Amino acid sequence: MKFKRKLCKPCAEALKAAGTHTVVPVGDKVQKIDCFKCKRRRFGETYTVEKIK
């Protein structure tokens, strides 16, 4: 299942590094977003996140 998630850079990198999900930027520009994971208002972008089976 694919999800669109707004993530800050550190969270996106952490999720990618964990190897449990694919994390692909949708191509938005980097802007101030409310990060889905850490709930902080930081610079980030929208990613398509998909769980790796």
Which parts of this chain interact with Zn ion (CB under 5 A)?
8, 11, 35, 37-38
Rounded least distance, CB 7 to Zn ion, Å: 6
Give the nearer residue to Zn ion in terms of CB position, either 19 or 45: 45
Q: Which is nearer to Zn ion, 41 or 51 (CB)?
A: 41
What does the angle CA 31 – CA 32 – CA 36 come to, to the nearest 5 degrees?
Answer: 110
DSSP conformation class of 53: -
- Residue closer to Zn ion (CB basis): 39 or 53: 39
Asked if 44 and 11 touch (Cβ cutoff 8 Å), the reply is yes
